[in-house]
Amino acid sequence: MIFTVAIDGPAAAGKGTIARAIAGRYGFAHLDSGLLYRAVARKALDGMSAEDAARGLDPSDLSEAGLRTAAISSEASRVAAIPEVRSALVHFQRAFARSEGGAVIDGRDIGTVICPEAEVKLFVTASPEVRAERRWKELTGSGADTTLDAVLADVHERDRRDAERATSPMIAAEDALQLDTSAMSIDEALAAAAAHVEARLPR
C-alpha cells in the first residue's frame, strides 16, 4: 500500500510527536525531515559546505547523537533556506514518502513541495509563546543553559526565516487539516490527527 501522511508546521508545535504516534499506530515508516537539515547543519558547522553535505548525506547521518542542540537547530534553519540544499534532499524525501507500506513525514514543506499528492496532510501549529516554552523546557531538561526569552527570540527568528525564504516557504497546503495545539493536550491532538487519517485510509 502506498499511503503518505504529510505533517507540516513550525518548530515545537507538536508535529513530531503526532508523526511518531501516527506512524506507530498504523505501522507506517516515519521520517523527521528536520533531521536531514540538522545532519547537514552539523557537517556545515564542522566546516563542510552545506551543499556538499546535502549531496553526500547518508541515512546513518540521521542517527548521530547531538543533532538537537540549540546551535544545530539555528544552523539547520539557515541551511534549509539554501535552494541547492533543499534540491539535493528532495529525492530522498519523495522516495521515502511513496515507499511501500505507508509513510509519515514531518517537516515544513512536505504537503506543499515534497509530496503534494499525499493522501493526508496536516498543518500543526501553536502560538510562538507556547512553542517557546515547550522548547525551553526540552532544552533545559537536557542540561542546556538558556532563558525563555532567548528561546522565544529564536522561535520568532526561525519562523521568519521559514516563512520568508524564497525556496519552499513554510505555508499550509490548501487541503491540509490545520491543528492549533496551543490549548490542546497531546491526547486531544493525537485524536484529531488520527481521525483525519482514519477517514482517508483505504477500506
> 97: phi > 0 → left, psi -120 to 50 → alpha, else beta; which?
alpha
Is 69 assigned to a binding site? no
User: Is-contact 15 116, C-beta < 8 A?
Assistant: no
Which residue do the cell numbers 492549533 mark? 180
Is residue 10 part of an annotated ligand binding site?
yes
Determine whether the annotation assigns residue 14 to a binding site.
Answer: yes
Residue with cell 513525514: 105
Three-class secondary structure of residue 99 per DSSP? coil
How far is 155 from 150, CA to CA, in rounded Å? Answer: 9
Consult the annotation and say whether 43 binds a ligand.
Answer: no
Any binding-site annotation on 47? no
202 annotated as a binding-site residue: no
Beta bridge partners, 31, equal 105
Residue linked to cell 534532499: 89
Residue 59 among known ligand-binding residues: no
Distance of CA 106 to the CA centre of its chain: 4
Q: Which residues are annotated as a binding site?
A: 9-17
Q: Which residues are annotated as a binding site for ATP?
A: 9-17
